[in-house]
A and B are shown apart, each in its own frame.
Chain A
Amino acid sequence: MVARGISTAADTVLAVSLVAAAATALVVLAPVATPTPPDAGPALDALSVTTVAASSSTGPVRASLGTHLAAAATSPGGSYARAVRAAVSARLESLPGRAEILVLHDAERAFTVGPTPTARADVSAASLPVGNATVVLRRWWA
Chain B
Amino acid sequence: MSSSSDRAQADPIVALVCVAVLTVALAGYAATYGRVLPESDRDHAGPALDRLASALTDSGVVHPNRLDAVVSARDGHVNVTLVTRNATWNAGPTPPGDADSANRPVAVARGNGTVAFGTLRVVVW
Instruction: Collect the chain A residues with CB atoms within 8 Å of residue B25's CB.
Output: 15-16, 19-20
Contact of A50 with B by CB under 8 A: yes
- Assuming the contacts A5-B11, A50-B116, A51-B115, asked whether A12 and B107 have C-beta atoms less than 8 A apart, the reply is no
Instruction: Return the CB mask of B32-45 against A: 1 if under 8 Å, else 0.
Output: 11001110000000
Instruction: Collect the chain B residues with CB atoms within 8 Å of residue A131's CB.
Output: none
Q: Which of A22-30, A69-77, A78-86, A111-119 contacts B (4 or more CB under 8 A)?
A: A22-30
Instruction: Return the CB mask of B7-46 against A: 1 if under 8 Å, else 0.
Output: 0111100110110011001101100110011100000000
Contact of B91 with A by CB under 8 A: no
Bound Cα distance from A94 to B28, whole angstroms: 43
Bound Cα distance from A15 to B18, whole angstroms: 10
Contact of B60 with A by CB under 8 A: yes
- Assuming the contacts A8-B18, A50-B116, A50-B117, asked whether A26 and B32 have C-beta atoms less than 8 A apart, the reply is yes
* A interface residues, tally (CB under 8 Å): 35
Contact of A11 with B by CB under 8 A: yes
Residue picked from B29, B85, B105, most chain A C-beta under 10 Å: B105
Nearest to B7 among chain A residues (CB) is A4
- Assuming the contacts A1-B8, A27-B32, asked whether A64 and B115 have C-beta atoms less than 8 A apart, the reply is yes
Do the beta carbons of B26 and A95 come within 8 Å of each other?
A: no
Option from B17, B26, B36, B105 in Cβ contact (under 8 Å) with A30: B36
Q: How far is the CB of B84 from chain A (nearest CB, A)?
A: 9
- Assuming the contacts A5-B11, A8-B18, asked whether A94 and B117 have C-beta atoms less than 8 A apart, the reply is yes
Residue picked from A11, A45, A96, most chain B C-beta under 10 Å: A45
Instruction: Return the CB mask of B82-104 against A: 1 if under 8 Å, else 0.
Output: 00010000000000000000011
Contact of A59 with B by CB under 8 A: no
Q: Which residues of B are interface residues toward A (Cβ below 8 A)? A: 5, 8-11, 14-15, 17-18, 21-22, 25-26, 28-29, 32-33, 36-38, 60-61, 85, 103-107, 114-119
